[in-house]
Amino acid sequence: MARVCQITGKKRMIGNNVSHSKRRTKREFSVNLREKRFWLESEKRFVTLKVSAAGMRNINKNGLEYELKKAMDKGLLEVV
């Protein structure tokens, strides 16, 4: 899974560059992804995730275990 957030499922979007003369050419809007280690207290270990900035905010707000469970239910993560 390259360039996909493992928490939110966000991936790249396709759009247009629009010039001054209104000519349109295709472009890509990429996701703000970071590879980040999170401490999983229940298992006493670090978990490395490829996560977007919005995913990090969700983890800070709702907790890591809740977000991991939700991502596994959506099929974004495999059980390791």
Give the CA diameter of the chain.
58
- The pLDDT, as a whole number, for residue 72 is 94
- The pLDDT, as a whole number, for residue 57 is 97
- The pLDDT, as a whole number, for residue 79 is 72
Instruction: Pinpoint the alpha helices (H) of the chain.
Output: 53-62, 64-74
- The pLDDT, as a whole number, for residue 1 is 52
- The pLDDT, as a whole number, for residue 61 is 97
Please answer whether residues 2 and 50 qualify as being in contact, where contact means their C-beta atoms are separated by less than 8 angstroms: no
Does the pTM exceed 0.75? yes
Residues of the chain with pLDDT under 70: 1, 80
What is the residue type of 30?
A: S
Domain 13-74, second-level architecture = Roll (2.30)
